[in-house]
């Protein structure tokens, strides 16, 4: 059943980074009732509400992490300093030995990390997603969870992945914060039948479809050698693309492929840090994709390849990379970067009417950011968006609400015991690390 939310609450006299249609930054109040914002602006009614003094804070919409594998929280640093092929060799070997219990431990750790860094919604792609859903349910974040689908002869899953995904959708349908979906892994492990089966399942169930796409030259060239078509062209021509789809990475694209993705209004998860660390080469054509009509948000990917789940850091990196690559300091402004991390990420999920900005009627998913933190000096209304995009530290995030529920207060996780989460994650990580293949520097 949907969560009715806590008692009414007023956050009084905060600096509101609204992300509304005018991108207003104003001093004012937020009133939260039933998990939603019922007042945004000056002089919110106080009757019957708990009042929070917001004078020392900026209220910022919760960040949307548009691509990740949160259960890999146990694998940070396990395959560093390797190209994608070597990285995946290690990850596939470790994944084959994972259990639902250690996936749960990793997911709890990853969800906690995201909440403490201001992310209130994330899009995930993995297997054992029931364990991830449990972590989402327990810790209070909003999770769009994609069950990994691949060819039956290329999986370590028990049973048929597409049928596993179908069953997963049925188990979590209707949950207020767990939104199940279908997630074909990529062209390197999915044939035509698997792609179209995933599309049909997502369409019939009314869910999103999330997948990796054109991350590396090798992926593109091998698929072209096999089929005679680059991945985007091939997927378009077999009739896969449609509404409610989010592709991750999209680094290696031609102009024609950009136009195709734009025509379909695909969501795109730009994962700058992960692509840089894995030396994928090139830079995702974010500016061209947006101009063509695609909806671009930011994703961290997993801590095995990033190695962080911070959207503050991701904004910073994404902005610097695009500016430097184009020799143009005006590309991806601070305001655009904040848009990608909030409202545009929500739009890619089809959830812009629910999350992504501080507006009446939307869910109360937001962070209170300390204006006295050194990384926000000088704390002025005209500089706050720049600070969030280019300098703010995760430690500046003081309190986080999801659906009006305080999940973090004063840098402390309130919906779980971090000490226990950390202890269980360390114990679950031990056998995974002991089984990793030799090679690399990790």
pLDDT at 6 exceeding the cut of 90: no
pLDDT per position as a tens digit, 146-180:
999 999 999 888 899 999 999 999 999 999 999 99
- Domain end: 322, 348, 374, which one? 348
pLDDT at position 125 is 98
Output the DSSP codes for 219-271.
HHHHHHHHHSS-HHHHHHHTT---SSEEEEE--S--HHHHHHHHHTT-EEEE-
Residue 267 and residue 179 share a domain: yes
Q: Are strands 25-33 and 36-41 parallel, antiparallel or unpaired?
A: antiparallel
CB 62, CB 422: distance < 8 Å: no
Using 50, 70 and 90 to split pLDDT, how confident is the model at 441?
A: very low
| 27 occurs within a structural domain | yes
Give the total number of structural domains in the chain: 2
CB 338, CB 389: distance < 8 Å: yes
pLDDT at 1 exceeding the cut of 50: no
pLDDT per position as a tens digit, 88-141:
788 888 877 889 999 999 999 999 999 999 999 999 999 999 999 999 999 999
Of residues 2 and 221, the one with the higher pLDDT is 221
> How far is the first Cα of the chain from the last one, in angstroms, to the nearest whole number?
45
| 428 occurs within a structural domain | no
| Structure tokens given for 326 | 């184009």
| 98 occurs within a structural domain | yes
Residue 194 and residue 98 share a domain: yes
pLDDT at position 2 is 45
CATH number, domain with residue 80? 3.20.20.140
Nearest to 219 by CA among 275, 299, 270, 293: 275
pLDDT at position 347 is 98
Residue 262 and residue 178 share a domain: yes
Of residues 12 and 84, the one with the higher pLDDT is 12
pLDDT at 56 exceeding the cut of 70: yes
Residue 117 and residue 134 share a domain: yes
pLDDT per position as a tens digit, 270-308:
999 999 999 988 899 999 999 999 999 999 999 999 999
Query: Mean pLDDT in the chain?
Result: 95
pLDDT per position as a tens digit, 232-273:
999 999 999 999 999 999 999 999 999 999 999 999 999 999
| 56 occurs within a structural domain | yes
Average pLDDT over residues 54-66: 98
pLDDT at 322 exceeding the cut of 50: yes
Residue 397 and residue 292 share a domain: no
Output the DSSP codes for 386-426.
HHHHHT--GGGEEEEEETTEEEEETTEESSS-HHHHHHHHH
pTM of the model: 0.96
| 324 occurs within a structural domain | yes
| 400 occurs within a structural domain | yes
**Which residues does residue 347 pair with via DSSP β-bridges, in sequence order?**
none
Q: Which domain holds residue 370?
A: 9-61+357-413
Nearest to 268 by CA among 289, 242, 237, 254: 289
Residue 376 and residue 245 share a domain: no
Distance (Å, whole) CA 94 – CA 413:
29
Residue 55 and residue 95 share a domain: no
Distance (Å, whole) CA 368 – CA 363:
15
Average pLDDT over residues 386-413: 98
Residue 374 and residue 239 share a domain: no
| 32 occurs within a structural domain | yes
Q: Which residue has the tokens 């300091």?
A: 329
| 1 occurs within a structural domain | no
Nearest to 210 by CA among 238, 184, 172: 184
Residue 67 and residue 57 share a domain: no
pLDDT at 85 exceeding the cut of 60: yes
pLDDT at 193 exceeding the cut of 50: yes
Residue 183 and residue 205 share a domain: yes
Pick from 66-70, 280-284, 437-441: least confident: 437-441
CATH number, domain with residue 55? 2.30.40.10
Residue 404 and residue 309 share a domain: no
Q: What percent of the chain has pLDDT over 70?
A: 98
- Domain end: 348, 383, 398, which one? 348
pLDDT at position 35 is 97
pLDDT at position 5 is 54
Average pLDDT over residues 332-355: 98
Residue 406 and residue 285 share a domain: no
pLDDT at 440 exceeding the cut of 80: no
């Amino acid at each position: 059943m949907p969560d009715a939310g806590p008692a009414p609450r007023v956050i009084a006299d905060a600096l509101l980074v609204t992300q509304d249609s005018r991108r207003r930054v104003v001093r004012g109040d937020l009133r939260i009732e039933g998990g939603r914002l019922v007042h945004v602006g000056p002089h919110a009614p106080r009757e019957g509400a708990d009042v929070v003094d917001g004078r020392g804070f900026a209220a910022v919409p919760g960040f949307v992490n548009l691509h990740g594998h949160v259960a890999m929280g146990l694998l940070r640093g396990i395959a560093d300093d390797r190209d994608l092929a070597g990285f995946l060799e290690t990850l596939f070997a470790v994944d084959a030995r994972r259990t639902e219990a250690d996936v749960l431990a990793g997911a709890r750790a990853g969800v906690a990390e995201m909440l403490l860094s201001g992310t209130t919604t994330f899009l995930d792609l993995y297997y054992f997603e029931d364990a991830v859903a449990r972590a989402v349910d327990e810790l209070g974040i909003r999770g769009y969870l994609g069950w990994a689908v691949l060819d039956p002869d290329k999986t370590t899953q028990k049973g048929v992945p597409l049928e596993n995904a179908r069953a997963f959708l049925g188990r979590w349908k209707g949950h207020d914060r767990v939104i199940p979906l279908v997630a074909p892994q990529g062209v390197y492990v999915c044939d035509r039948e698997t792609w179209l089966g995933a599309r049909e399942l997502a369409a019939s169930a009314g869910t999103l479809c999330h997948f990796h796409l054109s991350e590396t030259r090798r992926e593109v060239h091998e698929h072209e050698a096999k089929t005679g078509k680059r991945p985007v062209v091939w997927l378009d021509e077999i009739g896969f693309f449609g509404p409610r789809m989010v592709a991750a990475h999209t680094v290696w694209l031609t102009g024609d492929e950009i136009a195709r993705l734009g025509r379909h209004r695909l969501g795109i998860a730009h994962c700058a840090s992960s692509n840089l660390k894995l030396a994928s080469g090139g830079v995702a054509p974010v500016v061209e994709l947006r101009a063509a009509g695609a909806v671009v948000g930011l994703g961290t990917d997993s801590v095995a390849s990033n190695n962080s789940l911070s959207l503050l850091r991701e904004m910073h990196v994404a902005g610097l990379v695009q500016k430097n690559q184009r020799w143009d300091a005006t590309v991806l402004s601070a305001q655009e970067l904040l848009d990608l991390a909030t409202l545009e990420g929500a739009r890619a999920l089809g959830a812009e009417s629910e999350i992504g900005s501080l507006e009446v009627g939307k869910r109360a998913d937001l962070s209170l950011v300390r204006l006295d933190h050194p990384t926000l000096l000088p704390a002025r209304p005209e500089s706050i968006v720049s600070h969030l995009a280019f300098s703010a530290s995760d430690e500046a995030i003081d309190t986080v609400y999801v659906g009006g529920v305080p999940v973090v207060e004063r840098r402390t996780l309130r919906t779980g015991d971090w000490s226990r989460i950390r202890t269980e994650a360390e114990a679950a990580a031990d056998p995974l690390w002991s089984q990793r293949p030799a090679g690399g520097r990790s």
